[in-house]
Amino acid sequence: MAVSTETDKVNVLDFDRAALAAWFEARGEKPFRAQQVLKWIYQQGVGSFDAMTNLGKSLRADLAAAAEIRAPTVAADQRSSDGSRKRLFQLADGNRIETVYIPEPDRATLCISSQVGCALNCTFCSTARQGFNRNLTSAEIIGQLWMASRLLAQDGARPVSNVVLMGMGEPLLNFDNVMAAVALMQDDFAFALSKRRVTLSTAGVVPGLRRLAEVTDISLALSLHAPDDELRSRLVPLNQKYPIADVLQACRDYVGDGRRRVTVEYVMLDGINDSDAQARALARLLRNLPSKINLIPFNPFPAAHYRRSSPERIERFRDILQRSGIVTITRKTRGDDIDAACGQLAGDFRDRTRRRERFAVQVIGGVA
């Protein structure tokens, strides 16, 4: 791991608009300075206070002495044959996380991480096998979007139009920092993304879902992956704490009676969760939840003990759901040639849980 380069200066990327305004006010400055600084950083892509020409020289000097604009740095950059791009970002403490850019004809989506590793242990996910180190700060979360946006602008690439919190980690287990970053994503003086263009994906942390409903109405995705508690508890161990019925009720409460729908994510595992009977059970389960389903062909990773369902099986599963009246699509796999597809992100960090070590022992023993 690299030696930390952290300083005593305040990192302004850690502040949403309200917090930045309060910081300015505490220093005897007008709160509107926060709006000016946010526009320079997030809309102009400026990384130096000296470039903020509508601020007085003395204020710029004061800011340079007390604060900094510090985002993760690029440690590696991989391009997929399909146009997707995975960046390995290095943090100040030497840990590394991954972010994926996915361009399409009508949009460009950035998949960002919320934790160094993941505190959960979903059995079909490469990130989970790597273990967990810590939560990301709000600066490290929004910094992924800020850095990606600056680099895309330099390349003349399509700018980010959508953000999905579907990278490494469980966002609702890092609630406060994620919400501060989301506030900047939506702020008119920052990235100005609409609520439909920011999606948070969760494995079903019920208390977090309750809190989420109190502070935002961004789009919600649920990693479900099974139609019953017995199987889901094996695939997503968090289900032992928050069973399906409780999770779905929290999702129903979140979307309310409006037009919003939850996107239900369902990884297709050959012979595990892809039978006709399971498709019908899933349709019954979601009967009273405004939702659409994303079927995700499993993306393999080293020592994974699952196989991807065949295209014919996925199509059959989808047809059963659609005949039940549920909008269902099969997600197109993107970036799998650079291990950037759903479930393949791994990063590079020190595992504090020893989960990676235990898994390595299992692989050697032939029980993975």
Residues annotated as catalytic are: 98, 342
What does DSSP assign to residue 237?
G
What distance in Å separates the CA atoms of residue 143 and residue 70, rounded to the nearest whole number?
8
Query: Residue 29's beta-bridge partner residues?
Result: none
CB contact at 8 A, 308 and 273: no
- 305 phi and psi, to 5 degrees? -105, 25
Structure tokens that stand for 363 in this block: 């692989």
Rg (CA), the chain: 21
Closest-CA residue to 264 (of 145, 273, 78)? 273
CA 350 to chain centre: 20
- Interatomic CA distance for residues 289 and 269, integer angstroms: 23
E strand residue ranges, 20-131: 67-68, 73-79, 85-90, 96-104, 107-111, 115-117
Nearest in space to 349 (alpha carbons), one of 199, 140, 203: 140
88: left (phi over 0), alpha (psi -120 to 50) or beta: beta
CA distance readout (Å), 139 to 66, 69, 71, 105, 176: 16, 9, 7, 30, 12
> What is the rounded CA–CA span in Å between residue 165 and residue 182?
10
